[in-house]
Amino acid sequence: MNKQTNRKYGLMIVLLVFLLAGLWAGWHWLTVGRYYQSTNDAYVAGNLVNVMAQVSGNVKAVYVDETQQVMTGQPLVVLDDADARLALSRAESTLAETVRNVAAQYQTADAAAALVDQRKVELERAQNDLKRRAGLQDARALSGEDLEHARLSVVAAQAALVAAQRTRDAARVAVLGTPVIRHPAVLHAEAQLRQAWLDLQRTTIAAPVSGRVAKRTVQVGEHVTPGSLLLAVVPEQQIWVDANFKENRLAQVRIGQPVDLVTDLYGSDVVFHGHVAGLAAGTGSVFSLLPAQNATGNWIKVVQRLPVRMALDASELKAHPLQLGLSVTATVDLHDQKSGQPVLANASQPLYSTPVLSIDMQPVERDIQRILAQNLRP
């Protein structure tokens, strides 16, 4: 067997190997490969809960630092509460003073009503005197001057009655139809007291959710104002993956399809299992700060990518925590081609919530009732 023959057999063997490899690749694509769609343009995403100040004040203490774990309701930052306590004390004094002033207005209204009754009696007396003096003048027992004085007394009594009625009406308007505790001025003072009490409670800033602290910018002694960003908390159970698939690979992707996820952090030894939770409403370029304008003469087509959100298994996430921004390779199983519908938002049930912002108002309500009782005593 010469070299030419050996070369011929070698080429045939190589050709046969390539043919078998092609056949195997085609068979694998027909039976397996076409039912899976994969991308390594995927990243861990999740909620980032920013913690902000609700009142002004100087930072008195910071209880946490970055990378630390916190629980819901745990104090994070405490502001100096001296000004808040003074404001609360002023609000309590204002309420007590307002109650007394309004109670005095009710007494003034009663006095004005009594004055009207008095003016009516005086008018009746003046009218009777005028009648008697008119008869005496007919008998020529009374001078014309005395009769004129009697008539003027009636006019003065009538004017005094009208003035008293106006004063009574004005006093009634200030207290019309409400008891002291329901008077607008008292209600306004109560609202100011509640606000001052809330401001005092808000000098202690608690964690709205459980998670890991990140982006701490607050420093001791710093003066903060409402809306100042202090730090952030990442809830480690509110994590998902955003996978950016090319638009020409999305035709068979459906909501609810199972997904296998491999992270660079844990490698192929740890495979996360999840499902397609939803498809974004638009590509990243649409929602960018400066969207692309393609109506130009030098337009070049670029294949767009659409973010696909993938939910993770909570138990797996708890066993192997993930951090935001980690790289992921996502593989979607396309066997299930039932058209999944986007999950409708439930208006009656919040998707995320915190009990921290629901402050019990019973202490301040008891304080208000105490002030009302002390200042409404006869």
What is the pLDDT, as a whole number, of residue 137? 52
Give the strand pairing for 204-206 and 229-234.
Answer: unpaired
* pLDDT at res. 154: 66
Element (H, E) at 126: helix 82-138
Q: Would you say 313 and 226 are in contact if contact means Cβ atoms under 8 Å apart?
A: no
Query: What average pLDDT values come out for the chain (378 residues) when binned by 10 residues?
Result: 67 77 69 74 94 95 95 96 95 92 72 66 67 58 58 69 66 67 88 96 95 94 94 93 90 89 92 92 78 70 88 91 93 82 79 90 94 82
CA distance 329 to 325: 13
Q: Give the Å distances, CA to CA, from 328 to 50, 179, 190, 243, 261.
A: 25, 67, 55, 8, 6
Which pLDDT score, from 0 to 100, does residue 173 have?
A: 60
Residue 174 and residue 109 in contact, taking contact as beta carbons nearer than 8 Å:
yes
pLDDT of amino acid 74: 95
Three-state helix/strand/coil letters over 182-216: HCHHHHHHHHHHHHHHHHHHCCEEECCCCEEEECC
What pLDDT does residue 54 have?
Answer: 95
d(CA 68, CA 74) in angstroms, rounded, equals 12
Q: Which DSSP state fits 259?
A: E
**pTM across the whole model:** 0.74
Instruction: Identify the pLDDT of residue 236.
Output: 87
